Amino acid sequence: MSDGQIVVSGLTKHYRNVRAVDNLSFTVEPGRVTGFLGPNGAGKTTTLRMILNLVTPTAGAATIGGQRYADLAEPLRHVGAVLEASSAHKGRTGLNHLRVVAAGAGLPRQRADEVLAMVGLTPAAKRKFKGYSLGMRQRLGIATAMLGDPKVLILDEPANGLDPEGIRWMRDFLKSLAAQGRTVLVSSHLLSEMQLLADDLVIIAAGQLITQGPVDEVMGSMSGNTQVRVRTPQAEALTGVLAAQQATVTPGGDGALLVTGVDAPTVGRAALTAGVELHELTTERPDLERVFLDLTAGKAGIR
Nearer to other proteins, 116 or 257 (CB): 116
Residue 98 C-beta: closest distance to other proteins, Å: 10
Of residues 75-94, those binding other proteins (CB under 8 A): 75-76, 79, 81, 83-84, 86-93
Binds other proteins by CB under 8 A, chosen from 10, 66, 106, 181: 106
Nearer to other proteins, 54 or 179 (CB): 54
Give the other-Cβ count within 10 Å of 246's Cβ.
8
Cβ atoms of residues 107 and 76 within 8 Å? yes
Residue 77 C-beta: closest distance to other proteins, Å: 10
Per-residue mark of binding to other proteins, 170-189 (x: CB under 8 A): --------------------
Q: Can residue 9 be called a binding residue for other proteins (CB under 8 A)? A: no
Comparing CA positions, the residue from 37, 25, 43, 48 lying closest to residue 197 is 37
Q: Can residue 17 be called a binding residue for other proteins (CB under 8 A)? A: no
Q: Can residue 59 be called a binding residue for other proteins (CB under 8 A)? A: no
Nearer to other proteins, 81 or 205 (CB): 81
Q: Can residue 103 be called a binding residue for other proteins (CB under 8 A)? A: yes
Nearer to other proteins, 75 or 291 (CB): 75
Binds other proteins by CB under 8 A, chosen from 5, 23, 27, 53: 53
Comparing CA positions, the residue from 2, 1, 101, 11 lying closest to residue 48 is 11
Write the burial class of residue 98 (CB in 10 Å: 0-12 exposed, 13-18 middle, 19+ buried): buried
Site size for other proteins (CB under 8 A): 35
Residue 27 C-beta: closest distance to other proteins, Å: 22
Give the other-Cβ count within 10 Å of 302's Cβ.
5
Binding site for other proteins (CB under 8 A): 45-46, 49, 52-56, 69-70, 72, 75-76, 79, 81, 83-84, 86-93, 96-97, 99-101, 103-106, 144
